[in-house]
Amino acid sequence: MPRRRIYGWPHPPRTEEKSIQPEPTTELRHRIVEAPAGRLHLVEQGTGPLVLLVHGFPESWYSWRRQLPALAAAGHRAVAVDVRGYGRSSKPEAIDAYRMLDLVEDNLAVVRALGEESAVVVGHDWGSGIAAASALLHPEVFRAVGLLSVPYAPPGGPRPSDIFGQIGGPEEEFYVSYLQEPRRAEAEIEPDVRGWLAGFYAALSADTMPAPGEPDPHFVVRGGGRLRDRFPTGVLPAWLSEDELNVHAGEFERTGMTGALNRYRNMDRDWEDLAPHHGAPIKQPSLFIGGALDASTTWMSDAIDAYPTTLPGLSASHLLDGCGHWIQQERPDEVNRLLTDWLATLRG
């Protein structure tokens, strides 16, 4: 298995990060394309081989704002989408319109709408799962896959709702189960979207993550409470300015949270839909980058250890020391360097 590389902490101050960011080769271009969702909003920069960037929860295309210019400067056509249910993309009403198979079809529609035959797909958080499923189901289109924060685990195993229902004690509820119930999380989040997002981002960021012994950062709801009851308060992570938080919050204040949360409400449907691919590896060239402090990499460490079998085309698996969950925003220089170096190998 390719050796995991640990990159040092602390990361450079923001002034140094800005000084070494590449100059954009073109301006950002906003577009709307037709897709099974109805419409998909995307932002693109640069020319060259297509790199499709897929965000996670609770984000938007904007979470890739520091990757678009770097990839464009390296000679790529970088395209960041708003996944269906987010931002300026369509938001179907039916809960089952957010199953994984539909999101994969959206990715295919983007590639076709852009006049391309193939793409490298890179995803973060839920986007990592969408990217992996796209590569698994359509290797003829998605010629390589980059996974950030959430490791690849092949379809199969126990039903997801059964797994999550066993996490926690008799008076505890795992956050995934909490989010699966329609309208429940919306009632908590939507009265104060900005404050909720600030706490959610802080709870999984390296520099604002609760210390051991403080309220559990792993999102267990206790005693019929709310998720936000255990969030850090009054502090933003270093990677997030007030203005950037306003952009993130503005997207959800306009659209509401239901489309984004419906991804969690389809996990059992995905398990059924992908059953024919039980245990299937992704054979295309692949890359994994995770944060050493991210719960996703600790909970799923067995999935990372299984990469020689599940990702036989893996180029490298990187864990960034001292990094939390929002990896491409927390450590943009390192992520940009790892992505562009890997993409360069795909051109040979």
Predicted local confidence at residue 60, as pLDDT: 98
Whether residue 212 has pLDDT greater than 90: no
Same domain (yes/no): 29, 151:
yes
Predicted local confidence at residue 12, as pLDDT: 33
Same domain (yes/no): 28, 93:
yes
d(CA 347, CA 340): 11
pLDDT digits (tens, 9 = 90+) for 61-89: 999 999 999 999 999 999 999 999 999 99
By percentage, how much of the chain surpasses pLDDT 90?
79
Same domain (yes/no): 278, 136:
yes
Residues paired with residue 77 on neighbouring β-strands, in sequence order: 50
Same domain (yes/no): 149, 184:
no
Peptide bond into 139 cis (omega under 30): no
Same domain (yes/no): 19, 129:
yes
Same domain (yes/no): 332, 197:
no
- β pairing state of 77-81 and 38-45: antiparallel
Predicted local confidence at residue 19, as pLDDT: 34
Same domain (yes/no): 124, 169:
no
Per-position DSSP letters for 166-213, written without gaps between them = TSS-TTEEEHHHHHHSTTHHHHHHGGGHHHHHHHHHHHTSTTTSPPTT
49: CATH:
3.40.50.1820
Residues 6+ apart with CB under 8 A from 298: none
Q: Which two tokens stand for residue 290?
A: 């995770």
Same domain (yes/no): 121, 202:
no
Peptide bond into 10 cis (omega under 30): yes
pLDDT digits (tens, 9 = 90+) for 255-313: 999 999 999 999 999 999 999 999 999 999 999 999 999 989 988 999 999 999 999 99
In the set 11, 41, 318, 325, the catalytic residue is 325
* Residue 278: alpha-carbon gap to chain centroid: 23
Q: Provide the domain count of the chain.
A: 2
Same domain (yes/no): 237, 308:
no
Q: Which two tokens stand for residue 82?
A: 């708003």
Q: Which two tokens stand for residue 35?
A: 């897709």
Of 22-36, 154-168, 250-264, 332-346, the one with minimum mean pLDDT is 22-36
Predicted local confidence at residue 6, as pLDDT: 33
d(CA 84, CA 92): 8
Whether residue 1 has pLDDT greater than 70: no
- β pairing state of 29-35 and 38-45: antiparallel
Q: Which residue has the higher pLDDT, 4 or 84?
A: 84
Amino acid at 84: R
- The structure's pTM equals 0.91
Domain that holds residue 178: 160-261
Predicted local confidence at residue 221, as pLDDT: 87
Whether residue 25 has pLDDT greater than 90: no
In the set 82, 102, 106, 125, the catalytic residue is 125
Predicted local confidence at residue 88, as pLDDT: 96
- Count of residues for the chain? 348
Q: Is 162 an annotated catalytic residue?
A: no
Same domain (yes/no): 247, 275:
no
By percentage, how much of the chain surpasses pLDDT 70?
90
Per-residue pLDDT band for 217 (boundaries 50, 70, 90) equals: low
d(CA 246, CA 193): 10
* Angstrom distances, CA of residue 213 to CA of 209, 303, 324: 12, 27, 18
Whether residue 316 has pLDDT greater than 70: yes
Q: Which residue has the higher pLDDT, 234 or 249?
A: 249
Q: Which two tokens stand for residue 328?
A: 């491409």
Q: Is 30 an annotated catalytic residue?
A: no
pLDDT digits (tens, 9 = 90+) for 146-199: 999 999 999 999 999 888 887 876 778 889 989 999 999 999 999 999 999 999
